[in-house]
Amino acid sequence: KQADVSVVALSGEAGGDLANINRWRGQLNLDPIAEAEASSQSQTITPAGRRMLLVDIVSRELLIDSRYKKRLIAAILTRGNRTWFFKMTGEGETVERAKPAFLRFLGSLRFQESPHEAADPS
């Protein structure tokens, strides 16, 4: 059983938090949620003092090899004019066990500042 970790940076808001949460829910065959439900599906974390939105969701169905539920843990960081996505997906128990390491990874991030990001306190 494996977990996949990806890091993607997009310019601007990249669709917004709710749109991204619902896209990820769709990847797990879950129905979309309304804005009012977003706070129950996410939490704010501050690894290394950086404010991030953390999402941790699990499929209802056995999506991996028809034997295992799929879990997705993702963090969204807005920094300067970019939105960064850090995502881990895989078999539910594997991703759950790897969550502490994923959170440590988020706390270890280092960014090379460009001139327009130097004033960004995050």
Nearest Cα to 56, choosing from 95, 29, 84, 19? Answer: 95
Beta strands in 15-118 (DSSP E): 42-45, 52-64, 68-79, 82-91
Query: Tens of pLDDT along the chain (122 residues)?
Result: 789 999 999 988 777 899 999 999 999 999 999 998 888 889 999 999 999 999 999 999 999 999 999 999 999 999 888 899 999 999 999 999 999 999 999 999 988 776 555 445 44
- Rounded to the nearest 10°, the torsion over CA 41, 54, 69, 3 is 170
